[in-house]
């Protein structure tokens, strides 16, 4: 047992309020700010797609591929990096990853052709691969169980905030200085926060084995997570959901430019406004996940069920209205619904897995969501748009069909909810150690 070694610090359970002191809040703040920058780096690409397409002479399919390659980098490296993060140091890994992806973001701004866009975007994805698993694991280790939904709600507010900041400031900077400039500007805060991340307090699992055993140990950990029925349906549902959300994040500004005949700055402001409305969704979703779970043993699982079904239906209606005032209002509701699901999803990834594999679980979640949907969603939308003739109508139809994936995801999360109480019961006490 890890407790028997006198050289180790005494373990404290995750339910101990002492784990939620000022060091926990520092960790939450730094990780949340890094997550904002993370999404700024991703989402700025969507608002510069149209001017970049014109400048470099690209097709919609090539633009979609340039978006997809980032997600491919994240997907293929997410769970091996997450496995390493669980066994090395979460704070050191987060710090180094932030510095790496910021350098790749800067390189994107120096691009002069399709390939010089493609490779830096892949490296941005590679650098970001382990951030969410590491950030989720270190935050959940810092806070007691009863506060994790709240903490994940704050952490996941970064998604709409970062997306909004990326398109708003990216659009404004692009109009004034050119489409390459936003990448150069956005690299700076990533470097600064990467340095601050090095000073976070780390936590290790008491039951986690040392970083030995190689492939055999990794396969054993991988298998133990996939043996859980809840997680198998969870990963499948998450992948389907991200087909919708990733495609919308990439193509919404371009679709607005085509349907409304507006500049990237205006499209960025509108998309950013929708994103800012979505910050309501993350804390509300976190609150509902904790509240509903206290009332119902499946309560936390019901949040993504409702959120994704509602989001998918709202998306289809928004496109049919061609961004009328009513359509934009409904787009705000779509953003809120999509953001509501994320705190529950993050908490679920930690709820039912062995203590030593929590980072790996989130890494598998990232791999699943991108390889089952996110990696090929934006590219598929671009290909379908070209096949339908491109323009506003072709792209609009392709994006609208994404709503069906949201509805399907909600159904899959409902299926996962059937085994969630039983799997949750198997993991009663989690023990962590201070670094």
pLDDT along the chain (435 residues), means of 10: 43 46 82 90 82 81 81 74 70 85 89 86 84 79 72 79 85 87 90 88 55 61 76 88 87 89 83 78 83 84 93 94 90 89 80 69 76 81 88 91 94 89 67 44
Burial category of 20 from C-beta neighbours within 10 Å (exposed 0-12, middle 13-18, buried 19 and up): middle
pLDDT of res. 306: 94
Secondary structure class of 37 (helix, strand, coil): helix
pLDDT of res. 355: 64
H or E stretch covering 97: helix 90-108
* Nearest in space to 242 (alpha carbons), one of 397, 52, 75, 78: 75
Instruction: Please state at what angle helix 114-128 crosses helix 22-56, rounded to 10 degrees.
Output: 170
Q: Domain locations in the chain?
A: 10-434
pLDDT of res. 146: 66
pLDDT of res. 287: 85
pLDDT of res. 218: 65
CATH superfamily of the 10-434 domain = MFS general substrate transporter like domains (1.20.1250.20)
Whether the CB-CB separation of 187 and 103 falls below 8 Å is answered with yes
Residues 6+ apart with CB under 8 A from 189: 33, 37, 40
pLDDT of res. 302: 92
pLDDT of res. 359: 63
Place of tokens 């969603």: 377
User: How many C-beta neighbours within 10 Å does residue 261 have?
Assistant: 9
């Amino acid at each position: 047992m890890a407790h028997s070694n006198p050289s180790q610090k005494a373990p404290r359970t995750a339910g101990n309020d002492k784990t939620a002191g000022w060091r926990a809040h520092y960790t939450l703040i730094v990780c949340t700010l890094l997550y904002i920058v993370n999404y700024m780096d991703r989402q700025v690409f969507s608002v510069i797609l149209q001017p970049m397409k014109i400048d470099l002479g690209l097709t919609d399919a090539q633009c979609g591929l340039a978006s997809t390659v980032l997600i491919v980098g994240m997907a293929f490296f997410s769970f091996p990096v997450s496995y390493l993060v669980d066994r090395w140091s979460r704070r050191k890994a987060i710090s180094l990853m932030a510095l790496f992806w910021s350098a790749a973001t800067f390189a994107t701004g120096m691009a002069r052709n399709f390939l010089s866009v493609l490779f830096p975007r892949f490296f941005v994805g590679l650098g970001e691969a382990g951030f969410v698993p590491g950030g989720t694991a270190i935050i959940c280790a810092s806070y007691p169980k009863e506060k994790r939904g709240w903490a994940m709600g704050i952490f996941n507010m970064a998604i709409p905030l970062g997306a909004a900041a990326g398109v708003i400031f990216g659009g404004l900077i692009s109009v004034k200085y050119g489409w390459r400039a936003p990448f150069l500007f956005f690299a700076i805060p990533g470097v600064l926060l990467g340095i601050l991340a090095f000073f976070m307090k780390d936590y290790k699992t008491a039951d986690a084995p040392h970083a030995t055993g190689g492939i055999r140990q990794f396969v054993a950990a991988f298998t133990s997570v996939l043996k859980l029925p809840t997680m198998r349906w969870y990963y499948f549902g998450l992948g389907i959901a991200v087909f919708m959300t990733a495609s919308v994040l990439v193509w919404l500004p371009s679709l607005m430019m085509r349907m409304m005949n507006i500049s990237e700055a205006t499209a960025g402001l509108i998309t950013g406004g929708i994103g800012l409305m979505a910050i309501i969704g993350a804390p509300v979703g976190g609150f509902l996940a904790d509240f509903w779970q206290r009332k119902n043993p499946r309560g936390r699982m019901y949040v993504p069920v409702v959120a994704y079904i509602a989001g998918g239906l709202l998306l289809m209606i928004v496109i049919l209205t061609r961004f009328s005032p009513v359509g934009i209002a409904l787009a705000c509701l779509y953003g809120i619904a999509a953001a509501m699901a994320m705190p529950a999803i993050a908490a679920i990834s930690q709820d039912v897995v062995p203590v030593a594999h929590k980072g790996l679980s989130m890494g598998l979640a990232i791999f699943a969501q991108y390889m089952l949907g996110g990696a090929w969603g934006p590219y598929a939308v671009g290909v379908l748009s070209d096949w339908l003739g491109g323009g506003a109508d072709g792209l609009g139809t392709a994006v609208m069909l994404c709503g069906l994936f949201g509805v399907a995801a909600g159904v899959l999360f409902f299926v996962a909810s059937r085994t969630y109480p039983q799997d949750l019961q198997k993991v009663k006490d989690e023990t962590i150690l201070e670094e």
